[in-house]
Amino acid sequence: MISTRGLVKRYGRIRAVDGIDLDVRAGDVYGFLGANGSGKTTTVRMLLGLVLPTAGEVALLGERMPRAARRVLPRVGALIEGPAHHGHLSGRANLALLDAAGPGGSRRTRTRRVQEVLEQVGLGGVDRRPVRAYSLGMRQRLGLAGALLRRPELLVLDEPTNGLDPQGISEVRELLLDLHRGGTTVFLSSHLLAEVEQLCTRVGVLDRGHLVLQEELATLTAPTGATVVHTPAADRVRAVLDGRVLAVEGSRVVVRGADPAEVNALLVGAGVPVTGLALQRPTLEEVVLAAAGSSPDRVEGAR
């Protein structure tokens, strides 16, 4: 759906994007992570042909951009940095204007299409109010409605939950998951690990213009081969599981072996109380920090 090869954007001496190979496949919800200033917006703009690359190639839906923009962009829905609307008009009127700019049939067809996307984003009932009276969340959802008008195969969203409250974030997440279930491929940029961890199937991490990681989320957070035991008697675990204890942090003990039931049986058999048991998995935060350097303020954490 999206493929870039050696994509570079230079602004004077700044290398905003420095030779990235993105690979977004049909059916992905791809999370494009990176700290502020890492080059996410510049990349998204190049994908859509809004900024010309200094070097490298972009293919969208298998076609070279920006050459094929007129053919490809009608099949792609996009939302970049706070969508622009006419504040004195209603959401419906804004969408009708946007819809009128594209091809697409009779007045009735257009009216129905606008109504459908308004309902899809949960704005079906607030159509008389001018957009300037909308909350930030409502504006963002109206922007998404605009992106959905052409029933896109691919959605490209730059920080779609930026500035939203937790309720707004969760609404946008549900909407994107719904679209994904319906077959839409989603590419979204974000600096929020928690958002990406809850939504995405595949992750790319940008660090100062470099793509330092690109992988399936399930692979990144796959079990490590160890088991985490919670017990009020951490000191006794070492005696029972001689040589298998990898780490002890308070009541949390990490034990070699990916069979929690076996670990549980050994401990309970020896009279050690077990209050919690799980396969150890790295969090996305740990994976990203390991890939993007150790400074914790680079990408906003999951907590």
Ligand X SMILES: Nc1ncnc2c1ncn2[C@@H]1O[C@H](COP(=O)(O)OP(=O)(O)OP(=O)(O)O)[C@@H](O)[C@H]1O
Interacting residues toward ligand X by CB under 6 A: 11, 14, 16, 34, 36-42, 191
Least distance (Å) between residue 11 CB and ligand X: 3
Least distance (Å) between residue 131 CB and ligand X: 23
CA distance 127 to 118: 9
Closer of 41 and 185 to ligand X (Cβ): 41
Closer of 31 and 260 to ligand X (Cβ): 31
Least distance (Å) between residue 260 CB and ligand X: 40
Closer of 24 and 272 to ligand X (Cβ): 24
Least distance (Å) between residue 7 CB and ligand X: 12
Least distance (Å) between residue 14 CB and ligand X: 5
Closer of 39 and 204 to ligand X (Cβ): 39
Closer of 14 and 268 to ligand X (Cβ): 14
